Amino acid sequence: MATQDIIDTLAGIAPGSALDAIRARRLQARENAQKSYLSLFEPIDAGDFSLVERAAVAALVTGLHGESPVASFYREKLAANADGARLIAAIDAEIARGMTSGPYGSYPAGPLSVENTAGLIYRVSAASKPALGARLAAAFEQAHLLVFRPRDAADADMKALLAAGWSTTGIVTFSQLVAFLSFQVRVVSGLRTLAAASA
């Protein structure tokens, strides 16, 4: 593929290394992860979910997971775009506002209700809304919900995205992007931990 494997890059995996050999044992998983990255961040046609919006959501989601090579990568990706660079300050402010741990949320009444946990219900600040605009503000609130309170996701949340100008196709792609980022952060973190343990 023309683009270097993004997980290898972010995890610092050198060709021929022990971790490279480990990843090679799961070649299909490795290739599928790379294809997911390319389809989400380097699509032939971004449709109505622009590349800048994708990078902005990625900067927020990976930033909420804490400082890491993944967060730095997406922040730099956003900053490299003239339209995206102007969003950095607002995104940094929203990461600081949205930092928490989880998962939170409530289950329907029943045996799992004992695991109900209250936590931060995040809303974009009034100060950031002018810079972000309605679409990104709604996307940021939904992304935070998916990362920290997925069991609380409801129809009203989808309607908020639609009301902010998101299409149903855009919402599907957005949801896939958030899920991919959570996966990517965890894989890179795990691989870096393995690398440190074997050093």
Let me know if residue 155 belongs to a domain: yes
Let me know if residue 128 belongs to a domain: yes
Decide if pLDDT at 29 tops 50: yes
Cβ 91 vs Cβ 56: under 8 Å: yes
Task: Quote the pTM value.
Answer: 0.91
Range of the domain at 115: 6-198
Residue 3 is predicted with a pLDDT of 59
Residue 199 is predicted with a pLDDT of 64
What Å distances lie between residue 162 and 13, 25, 153, 166, 168, CA to CA?
40, 42, 15, 5, 7
Residue 193 is predicted with a pLDDT of 87
Let me know if residue 62 belongs to a domain: yes
| Residue written as token pair 């046609």 | 45
Let me know if residue 94 belongs to a domain: yes
Let me know if residue 36 belongs to a domain: yes
Kindly report the length of the chain: 199
Task: Name every residue whose Cβ is closer than 8 Å to that of residue 171 and which is 6 or more positions away in sequence.
Answer: 158, 161, 162
Tell me the pLDDT tens digit for each residue of 158-172: 999 999 999 999 999
Let me know if residue 1 belongs to a domain: no
Total H helices, total E strands in the chain: 10, 0
Let me know if residue 187 belongs to a domain: yes
Residue 197 is predicted with a pLDDT of 81
Rounded CA separation 61/66 (Å): 9
Residue 55, classified by CB atoms within 10 Å of its CB into exposed (0-12), middle (13-18) or buried (19+), is buried
| Percent of the chain whose predicted confidence (pLDDT) is above 90 | 65
Residue 174 is predicted with a pLDDT of 97
Q: pLDDT grade, residue 108 (50/70/90)?
A: confident
Let me know if residue 134 belongs to a domain: yes
Residue 94 is predicted with a pLDDT of 97
Decide if pLDDT at 121 tops 90: no
Of residues 40 and 16, more confidence is placed in 40
Tell me the pLDDT tens digit for each residue of 38-95: 999 999 999 999 999 999 999 999 999 988 899 999 999 999 988 899 999 999 999 9
Decide if pLDDT at 144 tops 50: yes
Decide if pLDDT at 102 tops 60: yes
Residue 76 is predicted with a pLDDT of 95
Query: Domain total for the chain?
Result: 1
